[in-house]
Chains A and B, each alone.
Chain A
Amino acid sequence: MRTTKMKKAISNVRLFLAPILAVALLLTATAHAAAPGVKGTSFGLAASAAFISQPDGSLVYSWGYACSSGGTAAPFGPATGSACGGTMQIPGPTLIVTQGATVTVTLTNNLPAAAGNTSILFPGFDVTTSGGAAGLLTQEAAHGGTVSYTFTASTAGTHAYYSGTQGDLQVEMGLYGAIIVIPSAIPANCTSGLAASNLTAEGFWGETDFRLAAAAYNHPKACYDREYLFQFSEMDPRIHRQAEEQVVATAAFCATAGDTRCQLEVATEPYHPAYYLINGRSMPDDMDPNYAAEYPHQPYNGNPHMHPGEQVLLRIIGQGRWQHPFHEHGNHVRILARDGNLIVSQSDPVNSLGGPLLFTTTTTPGVAMDGIFYWTGRGLNWDPYGHKPASRDPLAKLPCTPDANGYNTGAPTAINYFEWCQDHNKPVQTAPFGDVADGGPVTLPDANIFTNGAWYGGSPYLGPNATLRATGCSAGAPAGSCGATGSTPPSGTIANPPASEAGFAFMWHSHNEREITTNNIFPGGMMMMMLVDSREFQIDETN
């Protein structure tokens, strides 16, 4: 019994976290991800120290790269200032370059003197160096000094860069980032047909195209409509604390050039991480906007949204030292490439892919992968839009005209664009309360025995129109019917409001479930919610 109080403390943390999470999401409901970064051919990166913030309230001493010169914000940057704003960040600035270009990165070592030299590796590229001091793997920048790396961006796709000096400490401290290479040519089918039709739909609903390109590779199966970049890493706070303490303790020695006591002796083993990060943030911070003011050193988020049918490119990099089984709820991912190498069929390389289909895309240190995900609802065996031919609401009676593949793609301006037509009008509920089709297979229990999740859309259905109809809250519904079932619009759903979004939310997370915690607190760590939104909801990827 002696520990009753402690259990209570944990529960309090859980309870405490929920409202914070709610408020955070409320404030930022329209901000989403993409793959922000800096575009150019010549970049200055400055390795420097700062404190990054974690959702348990801790500020962790870390090292990261700042974009010190060169590069333009592309396709978008922070609301104020520049994407190359000179602030140290984790992960480092995403460098966006074009295939075939000659890229130069000049590294300045602004780390504390005791940290010694630093350098950058660009795995997969043939690098020539200029300046600096000789190191084990490459030329290094001494404290206050610089070194330049030049290479040709020979292969398209997603790549990693990270420190090549004392990596067990420097990568752990945060010295890593991504390079995205845009293919030099885009296949014609990626800008015509369905790809063009998707752009029409986006334009109709006022959405801006934030893709870096229309294809990840110059291959007809590499087209995409939306993209997200996720970098996975862990943090052992004891390593960071030792580094911080020793930097302070050695400062006096470092004032004298050549004093051998000006160095760090940080134990990086045994390794015992307590923080599990995606793009340098833990859940729920990762779902706040890119460049959010509260995370000045963690500008990139993890907050994916998509509409049914959109081909979504996932760029995933393992940047820490552990593997993480990253599980995507909702569908499989077709692996396109590994470290920028497209995986194609041996017998038909020009037209056919050879990579596996995975529902768990394990991240591995030093490995970058590209994959395509989509969600359409095909095979649900019920109509997620809750269409009902006898409804008074014209939106409940929209047609679904199947294309050769069975999808409603001829109507890019309709809210049920890309609906799976085989299940059109097909009911799920036997005797629904609201204005949705009846005669289906299941009876929902009394809503009072449910607990609603923060991302529950308010009904089994997709989108505000269907949700409001299903819950007796649509225009013209009988007086008093809204909320009469006790569930709707559910008071608990604040992250996915029934009247404005009502998306299908799916958790994307590390399936080594211990890693969806932040320093012993659940929820946290390597977790985010992905939302499939009907076309009524505008996915806004600006900041």
Chain B
Amino acid sequence: MRKLSQVWLPTLLVCLATAVASAQSFRVQCPTTTVTHPTAADTEPAYVGPTYTGINGYGTTPAHVNGAIKCQQISGGDGYATMGDGTQTYMFSFGPLSGLADIANGQPGTEVPGVFNSVYGGTFAPGDPATSDGAGPGPNGPTKLSYNGAVGLMADTTGNTAAPSTGHVDPRPIEDVGVMNGNIPAPLMAIDEDDEFFLTLTNVGMIMRPDLFEQHTVHFHGYPNASAFYDGVPDASVAINIGGSFTYYYLAPDAGTYFWHCHITPPEHLQMGMVGQIYVRPRQNRVALGTSLYTALSTQQGDLRTKCDSNTDILCSNPLPLTNTGATQSTDALTGQPYKYAYNDGDGSTAYDVEYPIQIHGFDPNFHFVGMTFNPEGFVDMKDKYFLLNGRSYPDTVTPGPLATISADGAMHYSQPLPTIISIPAGGRALLRISDLDVTEFQTLASLGIPMQVIALNAKLLRDQAGNNLYYNTNSITLGGGESLDVILDTCAVRASMTSCTTPMATGTYYLYTPNLDHLSNDAENFGGLMTEVHVN
């Protein structure tokens, strides 16, 4: 296997790079200014008022510029991951082509233009950032890679030194980094309400499956009022061929826990691993200290885009709370930062101290083995044997840092960057952004010891049209493929208020695990599966 790939891979790479270079169809897009964000800003301004007021819109000067521009680049291709029992598993997968250092650090690879558009000064090695980080042999030595810009960005051939703004890229580093570099889950994305998001998908090809001329797409699952063009369904739009890039453009939708995946032959590409997470943070995070949260939500009613009037819009989920609780934005004593919220609640009820995105998934080893070769894959007999939280099974879920796997190119790759260690300061509240992209069955996740409070379903706050919160406490949640919800784990035994805890729970280790007991396994190993630890400290 190793020998074979040493012979074939360079040949394939050369062929691909040649074709790509002549077509010049890789490209990234990350403008520093737009109609919506007329001045270049790499930070989120405080939210003090609506972008447009009344019935005004495009053509009039915005009353306030809110949000910022955010960009990300990902590869669509293939790669390898290691299952909990040590089995090396082949995947169709997305990998990071921006925010390499952030992704390896478990953070979103979503960057502001000032970071995204910076040109890399060094030379990428195949397998980067793992190679440069010393996970494998590489030219750069064991210096941690810190670059977060768009891989491949360079001055264009016309000699334009302001190259980053033209999005001109050199395909060679993109292939060096992108080939066989797929992640499970796919690169994490996070944006804020009012952001414009430019996501560039670059199709680097699937080296192990040269028989498949597969396109890839990105479907932003759950985005309200999406356009068909950017919805990522190949049947309803365009799909990007190997050797090309496509930039998806969205104004951030309402805050919530969404997720994304490829929509080409979904039973195949999703099972094979083309699944990822994206969440949108609320405007309420950006209000000034001391501001009434109720007033801040009332202010949002002044812009028809961000307004929620249950009498005229049956699909708005966060009307003003029934009563004004008097909650104000304050500093979180546990983190020293202003409080963060899952939604624009207007009453502080979705405040949290720490947040963890968790994606549930399942791998059928037979399907993946067959998928690495030239076999047809049957769908009726699909049966998951690996049950994954953020692409790992227990005990790998509690291994800190990125997990590296050697791929058929002989290089180590950070294919499983996300541990799922839920670390909560005692007395604090953790927001779990849970999504499920299993393609065969429903999965249950239970909490031992710490109650789960479900505050939102499918990226919408649980609140009725009259403003009553419909949150509920439970010890388990059940999701099918294509569903998400938000859970708060509160480690305060006796709570004085949303922002202060009288008696914290005991410190120590608690567990999240699945009561689908046959899912507590790693294929033949009768131990592992859908489980992780919660550390209260």
Contacts and interface: CB of A to CB of B under 8 A. Distances in A.
B227 A380 contact: yes
A405 B312 contact: yes
Interface in A402-424: 402-406, 421-424
- The interface size bin for chain B is 35 or more
Contacts of B374: 1, 3-4, 7
A514 B376 CA distance: 14
A354 B314 CA distance: 11
- The interface size bin for chain A is 35 or more
B235 A325 contact: no
Given A346-B468, A353-B314, A354-B465, A402 B55 contact: yes
Contact of A511 (B245, B315, B459, B483): B483
B59 interface: yes
Interface in B124-171: 167
Interface string A420-431: 011111111000
B285 to A, nearest CB: 19
Nearest to A406: B304
Interface string B17-47: 0000001010101010011100000000000
Interface string A511-533: 11110110110110000010010
A16 to B, nearest CB: 14
A323 interface: yes
Q: Summarize A's interface: helix, strand, loop or mixed.
A: loop
Contact of B235 (A323, A378, A379, A455): A455
B225 interface: yes
A377 B57 CA distance: 14
A423 B36 CA distance: 11
A325 B483 contact: yes
Contacts of B482: 325, 327, 359-360, 511-512
A359 B458 contact: yes
Contacts of A428: 249
B466 A347 contact: yes
Contact of B241 (A327, A450, A496): A450
A392 interface: no
B267 A422 contact: no
A455 to B, nearest CB: 5
A422 B314 contact: no
A532 B442 CA distance: 31
A449 B304 CA distance: 38
B225 A378 contact: yes
A376 B225 contact: yes
A131 interface: no
A405 B313 contact: yes
A330 B439 contact: no
A438 to B, nearest CB: 11
A372 B314 contact: yes
B227 A274 contact: no
Name the residue in B167, B231, B322, B380 with the highest tally of chain A Cβ atoms < 10 Å from its Cβ.
B380
Nearest to A461: B229
Interface in A334-384: 334, 345-348, 351-354, 356-360, 362, 372, 374-381, 383-384
Given A360-B483, A511-B480, A6 B309 contact: no
Given A7-B375, A329-B231, A511-B480, A323 B442 contact: yes
A492 B246 CA distance: 19
Interface string B452-487: 000001111010111010100000000011110000
Contact of B228 (A6, A345, A506): A506
A346 B468 CA distance: 8
A353 B314 CA distance: 9
Interface stretch (A87-95, A103-111, A439-447): A439-447
A441 B235 contact: no
A325 B457 CA distance: 14
A3 B57 contact: no
Given A357-B317, A441-B198, A513 B439 contact: yes
A59 interface: no
B98 interface: no
Contacts of A221: 310, 314, 465
Q: Summarize B's interface: helix, strand, loop or mixed.
A: loop
A372 B304 CA distance: 21
A22 to B, nearest CB: 12
Nearest to A343: B464
A426 B35 contact: yes
Contacts of A346: 464, 468
Contacts of B270: 513
Interface string B288-311: 000000000000000011000111
Interface string B232-275: 01111111110111110111010000000001011110110000
B350 to A, nearest CB: 16
Nearest to B233: A507
Contact of B247 (A9, A272, A442): A442
Contacts of B468: 345-347, 354
A460 B249 CA distance: 11
A334 B441 CA distance: 24
A425 B35 CA distance: 12
Given A332-B460, A406-B305, A512-B480, A451 B238 contact: yes
A352 B466 contact: yes
Interface string A450-473: 111111110110100000000000
B347 interface: no
Contacts of B382: 514
Contacts of B241: 449-451
A311 interface: yes
Contacts of A372: 314-315
A451 B214 CA distance: 10
Name the residue in B270, B313, B462, B464 with the highest tally of chain A Cβ atoms < 10 Å from its Cβ.
B464
Interface in B42-87: 52, 55-59
Given A329-B233, A374-B314, A522-B267, A445 B481 contact: no
A357 B460 CA distance: 6
Contacts of A274: 380
Nearest to A401: B55
Interface string B312-344: 111101000010000000000000000000000
B396 interface: no
Nearest to B69: A441
Contact of A512 (B29, B233, B440, B460): B440
A512 B481 contact: yes
A65 to B, nearest CB: 28
A456 B267 CA distance: 21
A252 interface: no
B177 to A, nearest CB: 20
Given A311-B314, A423-B58, A453 B267 contact: no
Contact of A362 (B237, B311, B322, B483): B483
A405 B224 CA distance: 17
A504 interface: yes
Contacts of B167: 443
A354 B466 CA distance: 8
Contacts of A453: 233-239
Given A221-B314, A376-B225, A402-B55, A449 B240 contact: yes
A248 interface: no
B121 interface: no
Contact of A332 (B224, B267, B481): B224
23 contacts: A3-B373, A327-B482, A329-B226, A329-B231, A332-B222, A334-B315, A351-B466, A356-B457, A360-B458, A360-B480, A360-B482, A374-B314, A379-B253, A380-B251, A406-B305, A424-B57, A426-B35, A445-B240, A455-B236, A456-B236, A514-B440, A516-B266, A529-B236
Given A362-B480, A453-B233, A512-B438, 17 more contacts: A346-B464, A353-B464, A354-B470, A377-B225, A421-B55, A441-B36, A445-B27, A446-B25, A449-B23, A451-B215, A451-B239, A451-B241, A453-B234, A456-B235, A460-B227, A504-B227, A507-B263
The 8 tightest CB contacts between A and B, nearest first, are A511-B482, A422-B57, A325-B480, A449-B244, A505-B236, A381-B251, A352-B465, A504-B228
